[in-house]
Amino acid sequence: MLITEMKAKETLVSLTDGKKVFIINCEGCKEVHFPGKEAKEFQKELSEAGSVTGIITTDYICNPDNMKLRLSKHMAEIEAADAVLVFSCGVGVQTISAYLEDKPVYAACDTYPLPGFQGVTPLEYECDQCGECWLNLTGGICPITACSKSLVNGQCGGAKNGMCEVDNTMECGWERIHRRLAQIGRLDALKSPVRVRNFATDDEVSK
């Protein structure tokens, strides 16, 4: 099971400030706790400020076919937005980010594990429920699962021909992150302050 918790409001404001956003809420999956109330409040504020091109609430966006179907009716609204803000677990954000290649797709939540049985096993993207979702700094590609060393500060010296030093059949995660950041014009995300991981994912120590 997992818990998604809304990121600090300042973080979300800094991502969306002055931008038009399209909002996606994923509430389908029973295994996930969704921060419904805070999310609604924040979205209401954004709507009132006139910065929202559309909002949808759906389920199982981690399933690419389902996600495409759900988004298909809203492509014009997505087109009109500068960024897409996703309220879901890390898998959902990655699925959308990979689909909307040219659009910055931001995670509005952090994903934490909750002891107990695993939920639906996601098909194409992995989330380790690291508790401090990095996707907004990495172009929607999860550095924890796409990099063999789970590096958050950039590529190690081991990539050869764009492949990971650990497995030459796997593309280096940071190679992908770079390409994507360049594609969405967000290479500046690499200039953000030093990132130190926090392995204390229980609420008390991590906040």
- Binding residues for ligand SF4, rule: CB under 6 A, are 90, 111, 127-130, 133-135, 142, 144-145, 147-149, 151, 155-156, 158-159, 164-166, 172-174
* Minimum distance of another protein from residue 171's CB (angstroms): 11
**Spatial distance between the Cα atoms of 14 and 10, rounded to a whole number of angstroms:** 6
> What does the per-residue mask of binding to another protein show for 164-183, with x meaning CB under 8 A?
-xx-----x-xx--x-----
What's the token pair of residue 67?
């996600």
Residue with tokens 């492949």: 163
Q: Which residue number, 58 or 201, has a Cβ lying nearer to another protein?
A: 201
Q: Which residue number, 90 or 143, has a Cβ lying nearer to another protein?
A: 143
The entry of ligand SF4, another protein, none that residue 161 binds, CB within 5 to 8 Å by partner kind: another protein
Residues 174/159, Cβ–Cβ less than 8 Å? yes
Residue nearest to ligand SF4 (CB): 90
The entry of another protein, ligand SF4, none that residue 153 binds, CB within 5 to 8 Å by partner kind: another protein
Q: Which residue number, 40 or 149, has a Cβ lying nearer to ligand SF4?
A: 149
Among 154, 170, 202, 203, binds another protein (CB under 8 A): 154
Q: Which residue number, 13 or 166, has a Cβ lying nearer to another protein?
A: 166
C-alpha distance from residue 152 to each of 136, 137, 177 (Å): 12, 9, 11
Residues 194/153, Cβ–Cβ less than 8 Å? yes
The entry of another protein, ligand SF4, none that residue 194 binds, CB within 5 to 8 Å by partner kind: another protein
**Spatial distance between the Cα atoms of 111 and 160, rounded to a whole number of angstroms:** 32
Among 160, 170, 203, 206, binds another protein (CB under 8 A): 160
**Spatial distance between the Cα atoms of 45 and 55, rounded to a whole number of angstroms:** 13
Residues 113/52, Cβ–Cβ less than 8 Å? no
HEC secondary structure over 156-194? CCCCECCECCCCCCCECHHHHHHHHHHHCCCHHHHHCCC
* Minimum distance of another protein from residue 69's CB (angstroms): 35
Distance from chain centroid for Cα 39: 15
Question: What residues make contact with another protein under the rule CB under 8 A?
Answer: 148-162, 165-166, 172, 174-175, 178, 187, 190-191, 193-197, 199
